[in-house]
Amino acid sequence: MKRSPLFISSFLLLSAVLVCAQTNPATPKPGSGVPETPVPSTQTSTPAPNAASTNAAPATQTPPNTPAVAPTPAQAPSAPSGSKATPPPGITSAPPGTAAKPVEPSENVEPMQPKTEIFDSSATSSGVLTTDGHDPVLDPPPLPGGLTTLVGGTVSGVDHIRNRMTMVVFGGGHWKIGFDERTHIFRNGAETTQLAIKKGERVYVDTMLDKKNHEIFARNIRLGVAALPANADGQIVDIDLKHQRVTLRDQIDSVPVHFSIDNQTKFNHGSNSASLGELKPGALVHVKFSPESPNRGLAREISIIAAPGSQFTYVGKITHLDLRKGVMAIQNVIDDKNYEVNFNPNQLKDVRDQLAVGTDVRIVAVFEGTRYTAQSIIVTKEPEPSEKQ
């Protein structure tokens, strides 16, 4: 079939347009996800390598003899004014009009080692970390200071959640005692845990006063040991001869303590033997209880320290003096104890001016049930000038 020259020319033109479109792909528009249509240049000269158009116009038909234009790469976002643009990693900056060359990573560069820096020096003491081995968060606090007192009794209640137990003290009275992981608990000499403390069990506790928590703290708890004698000191409040019951005001907590006596109870007055008839209300006594007694409320021995109306002689130096109230304290050289003695300044005018702290005196005093009252005061030695206050 013979085709006309016009048809052949149209076919060749269409083929040239398709070939040009395949060799010049569309450049994506910066900042959008829609690819751009390549814009052919109308100039016949060779374009610059870095020439790029920011706003592309719609694509138009190009004559077949027009040379193709290289695609323009997408532009990066412009840097703010007054600052220098930083090239992406692996690309070195190049002068305008030249293409940027990628930088190959060096094989001799060593990897960076991680390190820890403390920017806030207040986290440690003066910027220097010091410790004495005690962790204030995880470790228990130290034991409270002060003296340790051994008490015995029977457990009447245990609270393992709050670490508390209630104990009926031998001789009378109820104590609430706290314990924790600092407490050492023993059963027949072997250390055990707090779960071994049972209601109704006999215990002996080394107690300390915990001033911080305002409670009695147990340093050691001994379970299942042989009974030890219990003692009490105080003043006789009442004597029931019919029921052989005695009421004692304890000198530690001033709580009345009730105990029993029988025919086996011994009485002493100083170094001499005494009888029940010499035991009067107001007397200061020291009581020893029987460890074998089931109720622990039976007194085995009662020592009368001072009975109302008894006279006592004190010899020593005056350690405290209040002439207005008529009170002095003397350090007795006989038993090395300090006693408070009341006196009437008007009845002792002869020696009133000689009394001073540091003066050696000899005092005869009478116990009146609540206090010692001086009957006579004799100055044996005046204090040295350096001892006078």
Give the pLDDT band of residue 139 (cuts 50, 70, 90).
Answer: confident
Q: Report the pLDDT averaged over residues 335-352.
A: 85
Position 328 scores a pLDDT of 92
Position 363 scores a pLDDT of 92
The total number of residues written for the chain in this structure = 389
Which class is 231-306 in CATH? mainly beta
Architecture of domain 149-223: Beta Barrel (2.40)
Give the pLDDT band of residue 342 (cuts 50, 70, 90).
Answer: very high
3-state secondary structure the chain: CCCCHHHHHHHHHHHHHHHHHHHCCCCECCCCCCECCCCCCCCCCCCCCCCCCCCCCCCCCCCCCCCCCCCCCCCCCCCCCCCCCCCCCCECCCCCCCCCCECCCCCCCCCCCCCCCCCCHHHCECCECCCCCCCCCCCCCCCCCCCCEEEEEEEEEEECCCCEEEEEECCCCEEEEECCCCCEEEECCEEECHHHCCCCCEEEEEEEEECCCCEEEEEEEEECCCCCCCEEEEEEEEEECCCCEEEEEECCCCCEEEEECCCCCEEEECCEECCHHHCCCCCEEEEEECCCCCCCCEEEEEEEEECCCCEEEEEEEEEEEECCCCEEEEEECCCCEEEEEECCHHHHHHHHCCCCCCCEEEEEEEECCCCEEEEEEEEEECCCCCCCC
Top-confidence residue, 17 or 1:
17
pLDDT of 38 strictly over 70: no
Top-confidence residue, 6 or 21:
6
The segment with the largest mean pLDDT, out of 94-108, 111-125, 347-361, is 347-361
pLDDT of 344 strictly over 70: yes
**pLDDT tens-digit readout, 260-291:** 898 889 999 888 888 888 888 888 899 988 76
**pLDDT tens-digit readout, 143-177:** 887 778 888 888 999 998 989 999 988 777 889 99
pLDDT of 330 strictly over 90: yes
Top-confidence residue, 54 or 230:
230
Position 317 scores a pLDDT of 93
Question: For the chain, where do the domains classified as CATH 2.40.50.320 start and end?
Answer: 149-223, 231-306
Q: Lowest mean pLDDT: which of 107-111, 211-215, 279-283, 292-296?
A: 292-296
pLDDT of 21 strictly over 90: no
pLDDT of 236 strictly over 60: yes
Give the pLDDT band of residue 88 (cuts 50, 70, 90).
Answer: low
Position 306 scores a pLDDT of 85
CATH of 311-381, one of 2.40.160.40, 2.40.50.140, 3.40.50.12640, 3.30.360.10: 2.40.50.140
pLDDT of 182 strictly over 60: yes
pLDDT, the chain, mean: 75
The share of the chain scoring above pLDDT 90, in percent, equals 16
Position 55 scores a pLDDT of 43
Question: For the chain, where do the domains classified as CATH 2.40.50.140 start and end?
Answer: 311-381
Position 292 scores a pLDDT of 58
Position 177 scores a pLDDT of 93
Q: Report the pLDDT averaged over residues 58-78.
A: 48
Position 220 scores a pLDDT of 92
Q: Report the pLDDT averaged over residues 29-43.
A: 51
pLDDT of 324 strictly over 80: yes
Give the pLDDT band of residue 340 (cuts 50, 70, 90).
Answer: very high
Give the pLDDT band of residue 253 (cuts 50, 70, 90).
Answer: low
Position 386 scores a pLDDT of 64
